[in-house]
Amino acid sequence: MKTIATCVEEILISQPFLEDALNRNILNYSALSEELKGPISKMLRKPVKSGAIMMALRRYSPPKEMANKIKLNKVLQNLGDITVRSNLSDYTFRNSATLIHSHLKMLEVIKKQNHLFYTFTRGVHESNVLITTSLKEQIEESYKKENCTTFKEHLSAITIGLPKENTKIAGLYYQFFKRLAWEGIALYEVVSTTNEFTILVEDDVVDKAFSAIKGLKNRE
C-alpha cells in the first residue's frame, strides 16, 4: 500500500537533481511540499496535506546513502590526470560490411604517430570516429566508400583517469554528468574505457567543462 513517504521517495528517485538539492539542504521544504501536493494526491487518489509531505521530505534518506557517499568522495578525490586535447573532429558512419576495412586502413596511417588522438566506437547501426583534425584528408580517403551521416569539427576532449575501484562505485559517472548539466554544458560525445572517461565538447565551452570536472576532484 502506498503512503506519502513512498510517494515522496518515488518522485525523488525519478528526479535526481531534485533529490540532490534536497540532500544538500538548498530547497525550501514548504514550497516543495506545496509543489508535490498535487502529484501525491493523484498517486494516492485522495487529498493530502502539505505538512505531511514536508515531514516525509525531512525524513527522506536514500538507501545506503552515507556509505556510498564516503566511497564516492574518496574515488573523486583520487581521480587521475585530467587531460585536454583540442583540434578534434568527429565522424559518424553507417555500419557496413566494409567499415572495419576502412578502420584498418586508418590504423595503418596512424600506427607510428603516437601523439595523435584517434578513437573508433562501433554501435548497433552506426560507428563513430574521433580524430585529430589535421588528419582530415587521410580519414576521408580511408573511409571514402562509407556513408558519413554526421561530421563535426572544432571539438575538444577532456579525459579523466579513474581509480581502479571505479567499477564498484554507484553513481560515479552521474557525478560528471550532473556537474556538467548544472553548468549548462552540452556533451557532444562520450567515450569510456575501464579506467578512463572522455567527454567531447565544443571548443568554446572546454575551459568551463575542465573547471567543472576539476572542481569535482578538489571538492571536500
Per-position pLDDT tens, the chain of length 220:
789 999 998 888 777 778 778 877 788 889 999 999 999 999 999 999 999 999 999 888 765 555 566 677 778 888 888 999 999 999 999 999 999 999 999 999 888 787 888 999 999 999 999 999 999 999 999 999 999 999 999 999 999 998 888 888 877 888 889 889 888 999 999 998 889 999 999 999 999 999 998 888 765 5
Model pTM score: 0.71
Q: Could you tell me if 148 and 135 are in contact, meaning their C-beta atoms sit under 8 angstroms apart?
A: no
**DSSP 8-class letter at 75:** H
Give burial (CB, 10 Å; 0-12/13-18/19+) of 168.
Answer: exposed
Query: What does the longest C-alpha to C-alpha distance in the chain come to?
Result: 70
SS3 of residue 54 by DSSP: helix
Q: Could you tell me if 119 and 199 are in contact, meaning their C-beta atoms sit under 8 angstroms apart?
A: no
